Each structure stands twice: as structure tokens, then as C-alpha cells.
Structure 1
Amino acid sequence: MKTNVGGIDKILRIVAGLALMAWALMGGPVWAWIGIVPLATGLMGWCPAYTLLGMNTCPMKKP
């Protein structure tokens, strides 16, 4: 797995995931547990959807 999530994208995924999971814990709808997905992809730095779509938000590494 090559990292394809970086910077602001990673931060937004983690924050959104935590917010959705907190909502679920506070009595929100069951579907709010979907927050596990953005949290996991943000923490791992890899998104399978980005791989399928050929996207990458990581900065280019200099040799």
C-alpha cells in the first residue's frame, strides 16, 4: 500500500471520523458509525477509493 492521503486531507478525515463516531456514541443514528472509515483511512494514509480513481493528495517527494 502506497500512501495516497496527505496533509489537510488526512486531518479532515480524522476530524470527520471522530465527529461521526462521537455523534453515534451520543445517541445519533447507527449509520454515523461509518466514521470508522474516514478515521481509518486518515490514520493509515491510504484510501482504496483514491487508488481506484488514480488520485493522490500526498505532496510529491523529491529524490
Structure 2
Amino acid sequence: MTKNIGGGDRMVRFIAGTFLVLIGVAKSSLMVWFGLALLATAYLRTCPAYSVLNIDTTR
């Protein structure tokens, strides 16, 4: 998989993902899954939606 997430985008995803997981756990909601998806894309540095839309924030 080609990396298409740059440093700034990665940091935003990490912070937002962590926030959503914490809120989701506290409220027992589906936000946990959205947060985990953001954390996974931040960790892997690739986003399937970005690939489809041909977006690359690494430049």
C-alpha cells in the first residue's frame, strides 16, 4: 500500500482518533469504531478514501 498521508494529516487523525475512542468508550457508542479507523489510517499512513480520490498529503 502506498503511503498517502503526510505528517500534519497524520497528527490530526491521531488526535481526533484518540478523542473519539475516549469519548466512545465513556459513552459506550459507535464513535469508538470511527476513532479506531482514524488511528489505523494514521498508523499505516495510508487512507483507502484518499487512494480512490487520488489525494496525497505527503508532498
Which aligned runs of 4 or more in structure 1 are off by greater than 4 angstroms? none
Structure with more of its chain in helix, by fraction: 2
1:1-63 matched pairs, under 5 angstroms: 1-27=1-27, 30-33=29-32, 34-59=34-59
Query: One-letter code of the match for 1:58?
Result: T
Task: Normalising by structure 2, report the TM-score.
Answer: 0.90
Amino acid at match of 2:31: A
Q: How many residues align?
A: 58
Q: Computing the radius of gyration over CA atoms, which structure comes out larger, 1 or 2?
A: 1
- Provide the C-alpha distance between the structure 2 equivalents of 1:47 and 1:2, rounded to a whole number of angstroms: 9
Q: TM-score, normalization: structure 1? A: 0.85
